[in-house]
Amino acid sequence: MKILVTGIAGFIGSHTGERLIKEGHHVVGIDNFDPFYSKTFKEFNIEGLKASSSFSFYETDIRDKQSLKNIFSEHNIDAVVHLAAKAGVRPSIENIEDYYDVNINGSIALLEAMRASNVKKIAFASSSSVYGNNEKVPFSESDVVDNPISPYAATKKSCELLSHVYSHLYDFDITCLRFFTVFGPRQRPDLAIHKFTRFIDQGKPIPFYGDGSTSRDYTYVADIVDGIMCALNNLDGYRIYNLGESRVIKLNELVLAIEKALGKKAVIDRKPFQPGDVEKTYANITKAKTEIGYNPTYNFQEGIQLFVDWYNQHKEYLYNN
């Protein structure tokens, strides 16, 4: 099949593109190289993809309607994996308008381009952030998610609602995938695991928010990509699935794991709890396992070691360019 992947140069996008090509698909990738973090990282992410004859790349914005129209006209797209978005909970609080414009209006532009080209199959990257500070754990897809606590989370919930509208009105097959704290090689440099690893390695204090009791359901990127593939193979109507490891790791435990993998001790810079951050994420993945065959296999410690190995291999290039 020919699959359009938005946000192809990002962390999850580049891994997804490689997996699709490995399984015999042609990938049409688009990315606007948003300056949220260095273009060097993103260009590095897609070096391998660009070497493949099964990859076509367009540097463009998902809000560019004419560009999307041209891409759909040039390629006989079978399905879409929509990963492009303004990312991050904390920066969304400072840039609400930008987040709504890219994440919501950009998604509408993509859905409209699909509708005009009669392409009706799409897997959409949502987020565990839609659960907010849900008191019931683990989080289930049937839980009420009407209380987001950050603009980023609100945009993801809005896109889930838009997906339902397009499924209902236009018979789209849309699966929304709620990712739970994805990590692994190529992780964004602003995220905790990557930032902590770099700061500990360089002997810099790490920003440590709260008392260390906040916890996350960390999910290794290869498991997330498996979940995306499961979704693509089972697109049927409107569905929502959690993609996580269904295990919870506290912030204190995360730091210890990175220290062990690096063989270095962290210098802690304690800071107050941040507005918009949730206290815990914890995925119930029974529905994804039962309905689409999702089955995560990486444990947290193994994933941290794989990330640190990748970091050590590439840090000289990534941080000196």
Q: What is the mean pLDDT of the chain?
A: 95
Local confidence band at 135 (pLDDT 50, 70, 90 cut-offs): confident
218 pLDDT above the threshold of 90? yes
Distance between CA 113 and CA 149 in Å, rounded?
31
What pLDDT is attached to residue 88? 87
Long-range (24+ apart) CB contacts under 8 A made by 159-168 are 159/103, 159/104, 159/107, 159/124, 159/126, 160/124, 160/126, 160/130, 160/240, 162/104, 162/107, 162/108, 162/111, 163/122, 163/124, 163/238, 164/238, 166/111, 166/115, 167/237, 167/238, 168/238
Tell me how many domains the chain contains: 1
What pLDDT is attached to residue 92? 93
10 pLDDT above the threshold of 80? yes
The candidate with the shortest Cα–Cα distance to 222, out of 68, 67, 12, is: 12
What pLDDT is attached to residue 319? 85
Domain that holds residue 112: 2-318
- Active site (annotated) includes residue 152: yes
Local confidence band at 208 (pLDDT 50, 70, 90 cut-offs): confident
Distance between CA 120 and CA 173 in Å, rounded?
6
Distance between CA 222 and CA 270 in Å, rounded?
32
Query: What is the pLDDT averaged over residues 146-170?
Result: 96
What pLDDT is attached to residue 207? 87
What pLDDT is attached to residue 102? 97
Contact 109, 101 (CB under 8 A): no
- 162: domain CATH number is 3.40.50.720
220 pLDDT above the threshold of 90? yes
162 pLDDT above the threshold of 90? yes
Q: Is the pTM of this model over 0.75?
A: yes
pLDDT one-digit tens code per residue, 265-305 = 999 888 887 776 778 899 999 999 999 999 999 999 999 99
What pLDDT is attached to residue 296? 97
What pLDDT is attached to residue 122? 98
Q: Of 131, 152, 241, 294, which one is the catalytic site residue?
A: 152
What pLDDT is attached to residue 321? 66
54 pLDDT above the threshold of 90? yes
pLDDT one-digit tens code per residue, 63-107 = 999 999 999 999 999 999 999 999 988 899 999 999 999 999 999
Local confidence band at 146 (pLDDT 50, 70, 90 cut-offs): very high
Query: What is the pLDDT averaged over residues 229-258?
Result: 96
Query: What is the pLDDT averaged over residues 142-152?
Result: 94
